[in-house]
Chains A and B, each alone.
Chain A
């Protein structure tokens, strides 16, 4: 079975500071890893993904994430946070088996204060 853990329900940072939202995963086989952002009463917006290749992936809105196989982690990062980054962030994992189903973490609420 595959699983995702986002150990922090809430992350608070000041605007302009770097941010990290943590994610660890567990799968059998090679993971496909994703980060999504959700604003209130909206669907999920894709930020970035890791399928294969470089461990550091860059995505939308200045976000990036690093795939660490040994630590089974895929933390989301941004060098300088904006107030508009405040939202709910989900990490997800899937493989090329299991009918392509994604498993989502419980989500982390990011609050960026001016």
Chain B
């Protein structure tokens, strides 16, 4: 149980286009989802916290208009990178906290974004 999926697992897009990444909790309802960004050989940087039915809370320094987050249901959150640039290339990871246990975060497998 407690599986989180991400789609796509990798994506290449051209500079100036937008890319949507989906994060789904497959077998539980996620009250909260988190979006992280990870650079090579570095730690996870929290971008935003997403609660179902409400606006995401962004960390300081993260552009809200560039990284659009929508938590439409208790099993789905999406991250849209708008007008992507090469510096947005990174590994994006989501995690979900279940309604039954607020202690554990379940992580998705990550999405590798490359902007050319």
B110 contacts A101, CB within 8 Å?
no
**Mask of A82-114 contacts with B, CB within 8 angstroms, 1/0:** 000000101000001001111011110100000
Q: Are A99 and B110 in contact (CB under 8 A)?
A: no
Number of interface residues of B (CB under 8 A): 25
Assess whether A100 is in contact with B102, with CB atoms less than 8 Å apart.
Answer: yes
Q: A41-B91, A43-B93, A44-B93 are in contact. Are A96 and B102 (CB under 8 A)?
A: yes
Complex Cα gap A49–B49 (Å): 21
Contact present for B106 and A46 (CB under 8 Å): yes
Say which residue of A42, A45, A99, A105 sits within 8 Å of B43 (CB atoms).
Answer: A105
Q: Which of chain B's residues has its CB closest to A52's CB? A: B103
B106 contacts A104, CB within 8 Å? no
- Given A96-B102, A99-B49, A101-B46 in contact, is the A41-B112 Cβ separation under 8 Å? yes
Q: Kindly state whether residue B67 has any CB partner on chain A within 8 Å.
A: no
Determine whether the beta carbon of A90 is less than 8 Å from that of B44.
Answer: yes
- The CA-CA distance from A44 to B106 in the complex, in Å, is 8
Decide yes or no whether B80 CB sits under 8 A from chain A.
Answer: no
| CB atoms of A43 and B108 under 8 A apart | yes
B interface residue numbers (CB < 8 A to A):
4, 6, 32, 34, 41-44, 46, 49, 57, 91, 93, 95, 97, 102-110, 112
Interface of A toward B, CB cutoff 8 Å: 32, 34, 36, 41-46, 49, 51, 88, 90, 96, 99-102, 104-107, 109
Query: What are 13 A-B pairs at a CB distance below 8 A?
Result: A36-B107, A41-B91, A43-B4, A46-B106, A49-B103, A88-B41, A99-B32, A99-B49, A100-B32, A100-B49, A102-B46, A102-B105, A107-B42
